[in-house]
Amino acid sequence: MRAVILVPTLALVASAMVACGPIPVNRAEQQCLDRAKSAVKPRGTIRAGIDSNGNARTGWELELSSDYIMGRDPSAVFDTCVYQKSGQPPTRPLYSFPEWRG
């Protein structure tokens, strides 16, 4: 009886581990660009408007990454992120990406 319960449990654990496996380097680089951008400066949004009753509505959001607070170099953040996600170093430096505007 225990073997019947154990087999589905092992299959579930194995499938969860595969989902956490490395991803292709080019996909990791694209995902890590955003993290590198967060290391450069805080990001945020401000909203202002009027609702249907004529009342003013405002709001704001501010995003501070730990990389920004610690003063980490965006290029080092990018390199580390890509390696953690793919298990391989980036194929090119952060500053060579057209999307990069640090």
DSSP codes of every residue in 61-82: EEE--HHHHTT--HHHHHHHHH
In a domain, 37, yes or no: yes
Q: Is 44 within the bounds of a domain?
A: yes
In tens, the pLDDT along 49-81 reads 998 888 888 899 988 899 999 999 999 999 999
Domain annotation covers residue 82: yes
Task: Tell me whether residue 6 is in a domain.
Answer: no
Per the CB < 8 A criterion, the answer to whether 60 and 54 are in contact is: no
Considering the domain boundaries, does residue 11 fall inside one? no
Rounded to whole angstroms, how far apart are CA atoms 35 and 16?
25
Q: Is 17 within a domain? A: no
- Structural domain boundaries, residue 33: 23-96
87 compared with 101, residue with greater pLDDT: 87
Residue 16 lies in a domain: no
Contact residues for 38 (Cβ-Cβ < 8 A; gap 6+): 63, 65, 67, 68
User: Would you tell me how many other CB atoms lie within 10 Å of the CB of residue 27?
Assistant: 13
Asked if the structure places residue 50 within a domain, the reply is yes
**pTM summary value:** 0.68
**Model confidence band, residue 95 (pLDDT cutoffs 50, 70, 90):** very high
Residue 99 has a pLDDT of 87
